[in-house]
Copies of this chain bind each other. A is one copy, B any other.
Amino acid sequence: MAFEHRDEHIDDGMLLLQANIDDMNPEYCSYVSDLLFAEGANDVYWVPIIMKKGRPGVMLNVLVDEAASGRMEDIIFRETTTLGLRYLRASVHRLGREFYEVETAWGTIHVKAGFHQGKLVQFAPEFKECEQAAKTHGVPLKQVYDEVRRKFLEERVNEG
């Protein structure tokens, strides 16, 4: 049974914010990521880079809707050590998305499925739910993950 449907679409008007940082305590990184996600970032990731004088730095990347970029910039300037940031215009193509429920010996786990031109091309068990089931039931995480995938596929095979 699928629910939480979203159509495949393209978001124009996205920005990719980037800041190269070579003088910040790397302990701050996850804290900064969490704040950016909480304020509406679509994605946050860090790229190891080599900067001026061969310094091992990191490049912060934030993908965000143009309308929310001001909030992102405030966080980046307040919480990192950068003196500037750049932004590149981007468009994002998002697959259609539906959620399914799969019953397992360790409870119900959701599966997120992705559709391209009406055809299912992706399916992924919800990681947090698998993690929780693994902890609660003392089974390997990969066993939970594999079992959810197996049952999801089995149901689709049976449905024909």
Contacts and interface: CB of A to CB of B under 8 A. Distances in A.
A153 interface: yes
Contacts of A102: none
Interface in A62-118: 63, 73-74, 77-95, 97, 112, 114, 116
Interface in A8-63: 14, 16, 20, 22-31, 33, 37, 43-59, 61, 63
Interface of A: 14, 16, 20, 22-31, 33, 37, 43-59, 61, 63, 73-74, 77-95, 97, 112, 114, 116, 121-122, 124, 127, 131, 134, 140-142, 145-147, 149-150, 153-154
30 contacts: A16-B88, A23-B127, A26-B26, A26-B55, A29-B56, A45-B51, A45-B52, A45-B59, A46-B49, A46-B56, A47-B47, A47-B50, A48-B56, A50-B54, A50-B58, A63-B86, A77-B116, A77-B122, A80-B142, A81-B124, A82-B122, A83-B95, A83-B122, A83-B124, A85-B93, A86-B93, A87-B91, A88-B88, A146-B149, A150-B150
